[in-house]
Amino acid sequence: MAIRPTTSLVSREYYLPRLAPVFYQADAVVHWEMSISHRRTGWLMPAFHYAFREVMVHAGARYGLLCPVYCLMPDHIHLVWMGLRLDSDQRHAMAFLRTLVGPVLSPAELQHQPYDHVLRDQERRRNAFAATCGYILENPVEAGLVARREAYPFSGAIVPGYPKWHPCDARFWPRFWALYAKSKDPAASMVKRPLDRTTAVGEATPKSP
């Protein structure tokens, strides 16, 4: 199961440590969390949800990513991205996403840096991965917003060409894995990453190109 960070606010003078850039590239699978500055609420409405999905489609197309699950909570946002191409880069995709989402979110603001959890090989196995996605989808239930994850209106998936696919649907995962296998460039799996997952302390998320 993915670990949710406990730090609520981070000074703009401090940057959360990131892994080396290669961990976010090619076929990387990353659970991202974006908090709203000062945990401000009141911004989560259908219009924002629609705009968020549109930006996510463009981010996925531009950087070669699929999003099997996302969940917009009243004071933070979860999403998982899976890289498809050798040139996929989730750090740049996140900068692109935040740049375009920021004006739609106003007057609320994103906290200055997102959290991330780069899934290890064992976390990418289907049962473990399903647990991570389940954790994300259960957030509204744990918060007391709905009784069942299926009833929450601000969660879903971003799979270009399939706007109605939803990870709460029993048919979703077989279809998703088939499409993922078909869409992924085999070269993206050839990237070598350090075994020690060395962090680049103090490294900020890149600015949107």
pLDDT tens column, 165-195? 999 999 999 999 999 999 999 999 999 888 7
The DSSP output letter for 2 is: P
Domain total of the chain = 1
**Residue 7 token pair:** 């730090």
Name the nearest CA neighbour of 38 among 74, 78, 77, 9: 9
Could you tell me if residue 207 is inside a domain?
Answer: no
**Amino acid 208: pLDDT:** 64
Name the nearest CA neighbour of 36 among 78, 82, 91: 78
Instruction: Report pTM.
Output: 0.88
Question: What range does the domain containing 106 cover?
Answer: 21-200
Q: pLDDT tens digits, residue range 88-103?
A: 999 999 999 999 999 9
**Amino acid 199: pLDDT:** 60
The rounded distance, in Å, linking the Cα atoms of 149 and 141 is 6
Could you tell me if residue 33 is inside a domain?
Answer: yes
Could you tell me if residue 160 is inside a domain?
Answer: yes
At 19, phi and psi to the nearest 5? -70, 170
Could you tell me if residue 96 is inside a domain?
Answer: yes
Could you tell me if residue 2 is inside a domain?
Answer: no
**Residue 148 token pair:** 């069942």
Which residues, 6 or more positions from 104, have their beta carbon under 8 angstroms from its beta carbon? 48, 51, 52, 55
Can you say whether the dihedral through the CA atoms of 11, 114, 119, 6 is positive or negative?
A: positive
**Amino acid 17: pLDDT:** 78
Instruction: Enumerate residue ranges in the chain where pLDDT < 70.
Output: 1-15, 198-205, 207-209
Name the nearest CA neighbour of 137 among 117, 155, 114, 153: 155
Could you tell me if residue 90 is inside a domain?
Answer: yes
Could you tell me if residue 91 is inside a domain?
Answer: yes
Could you tell me if residue 1 is inside a domain?
Answer: no
Q: Which domain CATH number covers 72?
A: 3.30.70.1290
**Amino acid 11: pLDDT:** 42
